[in-house]
Chains A and B, each alone.
Chain A
């Protein structure tokens, strides 16, 4: 067992599950989407990204790319949430909420790709 692989797989899967957990629910209903979950998803995603730094293989490069895409989507979602809450009005509008969740869903797609790549890599590993 390779401990590095364990940590790596753990963070990638955790990022995907947290992201999924955040996205599930009605798209424009703020009650269905927890800001804590978004925060956790961002943190775990960032950690997963940094873990992929310095991997020189082709697979590592693709993993890094998908992670960066997920980061981008999630951070954009967080910025929209913050701006619409404090910049526009006190309560988040359903319209803004829909934007937040759709960005997070985009990130989810990237995260799923990451998981698929991880599975592919594991399967092709001949040990």
Chain B
């Protein structure tokens, strides 16, 4: 019998770990079906920035979108394939890799803007650099009181 890979079951553990991801900052990635352990992310800290490294194997730069809204950085990936084009991927005998859309959000605060954030994508890893922003001190306006007399 050809091609009998190890007995790996899918799905089963995705839902098993849902409860452990209650933390809203580190919420897991979402797909149309629920949460997934895909888009595994490491976060590293340097003196002036946070480096977010996310696994997105099999996607190209065009498939990945990152946006910033209300302090949340959201990374979305989906295969922007042209379905009209004849796609000779062949017939699938076994499919374990997820090929749908997925997204994941991280709270980065409202002090950073989308121009400050730099991202690059190589070998299936998206690296997003979010600079640490200093809170801008509010300029105090002195209000003078008129003195009569």
Are these two chains actual partners, yes or no? Answer: no
State the B residues within 8 Å of A (CB).
none
State the A residues within 8 Å of B (CB).
none
